[in-house]
Amino acid sequence: MYLKRLRDLREDKDKYQVDIAKYLKITRQQYSLYETGKRDIPIDLLNMLADYYNTSIDYIVDRTDEKKTYPKKN
């Protein structure tokens, strides 16, 4: 699945793929495969991205248009 929102979120923060890859502790090439949809993103990385962008996984994968994050569990 191509994740246009993932790219849009990254660009909205004026970040490069290499910046996000460093945050995720992966290579830029691996991140590029996730962003272009050539490889599925593991759930742990999706969680990290949702936290980084202060949004929900549902927003990243285009299941909702609500950008606001869900409340955290105690």
Cα–Cα distance, 68 to 36 (Å, whole number): 24
pLDDT at residue 22 in the model: 98
Residue 68 domain-assigned (yes or no): no
Q: Which two tokens stand for residue 25?
A: 């502790």
Per-10-residue mean pLDDT of the chain, 74 residues long, equals 85 97 98 93 96 94 85 73
pLDDT at residue 9 in the model: 95
Q: Which two tokens stand for residue 33?
A: 């495969």
Counting the structural domains of the chain, the total is 1
Residue 71 domain-assigned (yes or no): no
Query: Which CATH number belongs to the domain containing residue 25 in this structure?
Result: 1.10.260.40
pLDDT at residue 25 in the model: 98
Residue 73 domain-assigned (yes or no): no
Residue 51 domain-assigned (yes or no): yes
The parent domain of residue 11 ranges over 4-60
pLDDT at residue 33 in the model: 95
Q: Which two tokens stand for residue 40?
A: 């599925």
